A and B are shown apart, each in its own frame.
Chain A
């Protein structure tokens, strides 16, 4: 067993990649005469919308040919991902043999730089060690396959549930149904889940490996430098957080513009009365939401991850501001100043705020539903 020539490590991954990606390479071979015959017309045909599946197929075929040529795991993974997306749009699934092929390619790629023919001849392995090695490798590979297939099944089930929830919700809530059944949304959800599972699994495997084989040097080295441990899940976190805070802030801007600024402005320039028409209000609603989101996502890190003193200061400041607004409201409604200071009209302020929020979101969701209808995600 020690005389495995090195050539096996070169041929095996390429053979596996060729077997798994055979259809793509076949597609490339079939399309090649057309490309060579008339490249300009071919490119023009590709650029049209009907040519899009062919374009994706051609791209994945070129990648497949490159994968077979170089036997690189990265290229293999990329080709497989594009293939999965393309096939998934057509309704097929990629075969599980591709995972096995990935393992073979990774294995060969790891061994290739360090293996020399006959290197194993000088080792004297007992049978127990051999069996331990094989069983250990099989256990690791089996776990990896199990985890990948399990995660895939879970995400598939989740997407099915989402789509069925969407079809059920069509009668109740058009916006939600359009959101749940849109293919782009499905792709985004799959990507988020994949990223999530990836981070979860790498952290879990790292920790498990360290529990099984503790190493003092590594631990002290990592514990000294905190950034090695940071396990923050960035992408969904930031977008969600920005959107939620923008959703809270934008109606306040809207209310301040339309209640306070508008009456003053229309006294000065009557043409601005155009801005109170329905279309303009919807447009300004959306604009304000975008502005709020951009501003919030710029400054949010400084606010939320600042020192505890600054956060406390901001919280106290907001409380004082709300109280002052309530006091102002009571004063405007004609109560004497002392009475306004001690028992301000918080309920009235609350109902005003609720009113402005409801109006803002009625306009906002009208716009969102309109957009979904234009894109074709809702009937």
Chain B
């Protein structure tokens, strides 16, 4: 069980990186759609990009705090 606990922060980190990559892809598609005058599709892609980015940042912070909780405990408590 402690193996999983040690790996957890990196799982969150992987999820966060995947979400941010997806968000960037959606942002680029949004610019492409806007260029081709498909305004609603472009706006929708931008909206999806923002949502994914927000989720990715959330996952990034969670991974950092979980890592802190695990690693900090090994070093003996208070920092």
Binding site for B on A (CB under 8 A): 161, 165, 169, 172-173, 176, 196, 199-200, 203-204, 206-208, 210-211, 213-220, 222-223, 229-233, 236-237, 240-241, 243-244, 247
A214 engages B61 (CB within 8 Å): no
Bitwise interface map of B from 40 to 51 toward A, beta carbon under 8 Å scored 1, else 0: 100110110011
Binding site for A on B (CB under 8 A): 31, 34-35, 37, 39-40, 43-44, 46-47, 50-51, 53-54, 57-58, 60-73, 75, 77-79
B50 engages A240 (CB within 8 Å): yes
- B38 closest partner in A (C-beta): A176
A203 engages B66 (CB within 8 Å): no
A237 engages B69 (CB within 8 Å): no
A231 engages B58 (CB within 8 Å): yes
A217 engages B37 (CB within 8 Å): no
Quote the shortest CB–CB distance from A93 to chain B (angstroms): 23
B68 engages A210 (CB within 8 Å): yes
B39 engages A210 (CB within 8 Å): no
Residues of B within 8 A of A214 (CB): 67-72, 75, 79
A236 engages B77 (CB within 8 Å): no
A196 to B60, CA, bound (A): 16
A210 engages B67 (CB within 8 Å): yes
For the A-B complex, the count of residue pairs with Cβ-Cβ distances under 8 Å equals 104
Taking A217-B79, A236-B50, A240-B46 as contacts, is the C-beta distance between A229 and B68 under 8 angstroms?
Answer: no
A169 engages B37 (CB within 8 Å): yes
**A232 touches which one: B40, B54, B64, B65 (CB < 8 A)?**
B54
Quote the shortest CB–CB distance from B36 to chain A (angstroms): 9
A222 to B67, CA, bound (A): 12
Most buried by B among A216, A220, A222, A233: A216
Taking A233-B50, A240-B43 as contacts, is the C-beta distance between A217 and B60 under 8 angstroms?
Answer: no
- A176 closest partner in B (C-beta): B37
A200 to B49, CA, bound (A): 13
A223 engages B53 (CB within 8 Å): no
Taking A200-B53, A216-B79 as contacts, is the C-beta distance between A229 and B61 under 8 angstroms?
Answer: yes
